[in-house]
Structure 1
Amino acid sequence: MSTIKDVAKLAGVAPSTVSRVIADSPKISKRTKERVKEIMDELGYYPNVHARNLVNKETNVIGVIMPSASYAPFQNPFFPEVLRGITAQANKDKYGLYLSTGQTEEGIMEEVKEMVYSRRVDGIILLYSTTSDPIIPFLLREKFPFVVIGRPPEDYADVVSYVNNDNVKAAKMLTEYVLLLKHERIGFIGGRKDAYVTLDHKHGYEQALKTAGIDINPMYFVYHDEVFEGGEQAVIELMAQATPPTALVVADDLMALGVLRMLTSMGYRVPEDISVVSFNNVLMSELSAPPLTTMDIFIYELGFQAATLVREQIASPPLDAQARIVGHKLVRRSSTSRRITKESTL
């Protein structure tokens, strides 16, 4: 096995120069760097990054905290897509990722503590944000670099760095689109009731109805933690109303697939009998039957920006909290249509 001394001898430089090349020191000329890297390739030499990181007191690893297994994160295409964005930035900066494996919220909290106290990672990306999650106050107390994908709690809004969409505005736009199709009885199917994204979607939905002068019907609100199955159950609850909705605003595309399947099994036609809109614009939304009208929230970009921001937090502590807002775009497909009324057929 080749050593750093072997590389230095063949390159005609000191071992310390090889170390500086590995560290990408600006004090080493481009020509020398190229020569040393050629020799490293010839000898098949790979630097001991772990040992170097121990000296630098860095791991060059970022922790990624997923929701607990009870919320089946890998069943929802949102999480693989946001991880794709994080991974793209990780590959660019040549650092590793450590994914949490906690099965419960208590287990995740213990895993985060172990990451921080053992310095297993240099920083953390939290892939969700809820009203009562203990991780954010813990990381703040420990002054540990971290970034949230989503909106942090109001009490910490000025001290937590995060990447998010304007979910209130996005939900308002989506609901307004349904209103323009002449629907007035619009149901809302939310996810976790304690998730800030659910609260913001509900707020935007309510804003749109109030602006249109439509009374908010509390019987049209349904929440489910389960995603696909939750969509199915929500349809049963809403369509059992004496006056069921003619359109549904759904938390995300996977839940909307459950909605579509249950509506079909109950004999409803989409969009002729009822229109359905959702959020995220994952691949399955385009392949569903019918293809879903959805709000693209640019999930990949959320992950990429979060990974960039946490690296900045690590490189320059203490760094003031930053907020980065990723845009959104309405993608119109075949799950929506203008509501047919007696007046419109005259």
Structure 2
Amino acid sequence: MTGKLKIKQIAELTGLSPSTVSRVLAGKTNVSAQAKEKVFFHARAMGILRDIPSSRLLMSSLLICAPAAAFTPHGDHYYYEVIQGIISEVSRFDVHVKKCSLDINDADISLFMKSLSHSDVEGIIIIGIDDDSLYRLASESHKPVVTINARDKKMRLDCVSPDHYSIGYSAANYLADKGHRSALLFTDLRRETMVQRLEGFKRACQDRHLIFDESEHLLVTKGYGEPEARQNFKKYLQQRSKAQLPSAILCGGGAIARAVISELKHHNIQMPDDISIMTCAYAHEMEEIKQLGLTAAFQPCCELGVEAVYILQSRLTRNVSPRFNLLLQGSIHVGNSVADVNWRRRELYQSHQIP
């Protein structure tokens, strides 16, 4: 059946004009929500939506829900870049973007429902919000919803995130490859995503037959602020002799890494000769990472927003498939802050040769 015949058939089934059906399937905005619902219902049943090209976005208005700091470049840089990825992608289409500011763990449900209930909102992206009641309401909205850097544990919503487990695993594995047998993970654990990174780090230690004792190899700070991280690390150093310090430290973010480097200098501890430093980082921190000479495990950023847009598109065209978690891999940037200490172990073994 040709495209024109399909449009004519849908027009007959819906009672709409062929031009209206055509506008809906072309992703135009000058069509009512009721007309779109009728066309999509029959188009799905006929398998037409599967043939819609990815160059076309079948929605006119998109709602982005995120912490307030995510909507300003002077707030949460990482989430701001994620949102720019979304806006950049939908700018190729005739899509209006609406914004809703919510707290991470205690979202304003009434504000969310007010934003969600607008008839022209046809897709929702939730960024960095850990609130199960909000997930439930979103899943009951009968609108396509994607979460970014969060996870619906009850499997109602699609999610796209950095593979935090893999990033933690890869970072620990990199340090092990360089001969480090004792590494400290210095991080914030307020969010589920950070816990996933910790689990990946622990698993890598287990696979490499390295001891990971949380009382010795995990240092936790609250928040990403540099002053608090520096205070926590200062206390950590005061409680240990130089011989008791790990050979490497993986920092959970740039602020933590700056705090560690600053405090090591204050105690005349050299990097990487005495202690190697590695950090988890974001794309907007690349220039600073290069200036500090840090080795870093980078996690995807703008790519999260781009993928979320096309997951929404897939839900509009094929709404019967199971929900899924899309995990995007990170990458390792090699600086000069991690020493290769394998030679130290070789020297140790040579001095204790078996007769």
- TM-score interval, smaller chain: 0.7 to 0.9
Q: 1:140 is aligned with what amino acid?
A: S
Q: 1:166 is aligned with what amino acid?
A: D
* TM-score, with length taken from structure 1: 0.73
Q: Deviations over 1:105-139 (max 9, x none)?
A: 43543322222234463222122254x54321221
**Percent of aligned pairs with the same amino acid:** 15
CA contact (8 A) 2:127 2:150 kept: no
Q: Deviations over 1:7-57 (max 9, x none)?
A: xxxxxxxxxx9x86994877xxxxxxxxxxxxxxxxxxxx9x5x7556757
| Equivalence for 1:249 | 250
Q: Deviations over 1:136-159 (max 9, x none)?
A: 122123333211123524432xx3
| Equivalence for 2:234 | 236
Query: How far apart in 2 are the matches of 1:78 and 1:323?
Result: 20
From the superposition, tell whether residues 200 and 223 of structure 1 become closer, same or farther in structure 2 (CA, over 3 Å): same
Query: How far apart in 2 are the matches of 1:256 and 1:152?
Result: 27
Query: How far apart in 2 are the matches of 1:24 and 1:69?
Result: 35
- Comparing 143-152 with 302-311, which one deviates more in the overlay? 143-152
From the superposition, tell whether residues 341 and 264 of structure 1 become closer, same or farther in structure 2 (CA, over 3 Å): same
SS at match of 2:147: strand
Matches within 5 A, 1:272-287: 272-287=273-288
| Equivalence for 2:221 | 224
Query: How far apart in 2 are the matches of 1:152 and 1:187?
Result: 27
- Comparing 224-233 with 298-307, which one deviates more in the overlay? 224-233
| Equivalence for 2:56 | none
* TM-score, with length taken from structure 2: 0.71
From the superposition, tell whether residues 313 and 255 of structure 1 become closer, same or farther in structure 2 (CA, over 3 Å): farther
Gap runs ≥5 in structure 2 = 1-16, 38-58
Q: What is the CA distance between 1:202 and its match in structure 2?
A: 0.8
Query: How far apart in 1 are the matches of 2:103 and 2:327?
Result: 30
Query: How far apart in 2 are the matches of 1:304 and 1:105?
Result: 25
Query: How far apart in 2 are the matches of 1:21 and 1:265?
Result: 69
From the superposition, tell whether residues 114 and 60 of structure 1 become closer, same or farther in structure 2 (CA, over 3 Å): same
Q: 1:123 is aligned with what amino acid?
A: G
Say which of 326, 331, 339 aligns to 1:324: 326
- Is 1:175 aligned with 2:172? yes
Q: 2:247 is aligned with what amino acid?
A: T
| Equivalence for 1:84 | 84
Gap runs ≥5 in structure 1 = 1-16, 27-46
Query: How far apart in 2 are the matches of 1:241 and 1:57?
Result: 65
CA contact (8 A) 2:125 2:308 kept: yes
Matches within 5 A, 1:1-346: 23=23, 52=31, 60-67=60-67, 69=69, 75-102=75-102, 105-119=105-119, 121-128=121-128, 130=130, 133-150=132-149, 152-156=151-155, 159-193=156-190, 195-219=191-215, 220-229=217-226, 230-242=228-240, 243-288=244-289, 289-317=291-319, 320-339=322-341, 341=344, 344=347
Aligned length: 303
Q: What is the CA distance between 1:297 and its match in structure 2?
A: 2.5
| Equivalence for 2:54 | none
Query: How far apart in 2 are the matches of 1:263 and 1:77?
Result: 27
